[in-house]
Structure 1
Amino acid sequence: MESHQLTPDLSAAEWRKARRSGSEGGNCVEVARNLPGLVAVRDSKHPTAPLSSSPPEEWRLFVLETKAGRV
């Protein structure tokens, strides 16, 4: 059976740069949390490159684990 991955519609995405992203062009991450059932993440230096997405609960857990230093 062939698997097809659906590409989410990001036309309404409201991208926000992470507060800790530096102004010198280092590690810059943008997150869109306004999409129904989806949190999208992209590299702000390459906005048309492939991105990552996850359900909101998985994103919340990722953020919590990162803040706790476990990721």
Structure 2
Amino acid sequence: MGAFGYSRDLDWKRSRYCADNACVEVADDGHDIVSVRDGKHPDGPVLSFPADNWKAFMSDVNAGHFDG
């Protein structure tokens, strides 16, 4: 999936632990696509993924598969 030009229309969310704009923001478009952007650059590029892939990625993150 590529970047979309409608990122301003999405309802962007960030972690409640984010103290400033230096966080990743995530938005669900309601059509099985999850978009991700850098909170420091809200007008910058947006990466978009099928929702099922994003859910699998988040499951692996929460399970600690990427902990160093």
Q: TM-score range by the shorter chain?
A: 0.7 to 0.9
Q: Is 1:20 paired with 2:1? A: no
Correspondent of 1:57 among 39, 52, 56: 52
The secondary structure found in structure 2 opposite 1:61 is helix
Superposition TM-score, scaled by structure 2 size? 0.75
Deviating above 6 A after TM superposition, structure 1's stretches of 4 or more consecutive aligned residues are none
Q: Distance in 2 between matches of 1:26 and 1:49?
A: 13
Structure 2 residue ranges without an equivalent (≥5)? none
37, 44, 52: which one aligns with 1:42:
37
Whose radius of gyration is greater, 1 or 2? 1
Paired residue total: 65
Q: Percent identical across equivalent pairs?
A: 32
Q: Whose RCO is larger (CA < 8 A, sep 6+)? A: 2
The two structures, once aligned, show a CA RMSD in angstroms of 2.2
Cα distance change of structure 1 residues 33 and 55 upon mapping to structure 2, 3 Å threshold: same
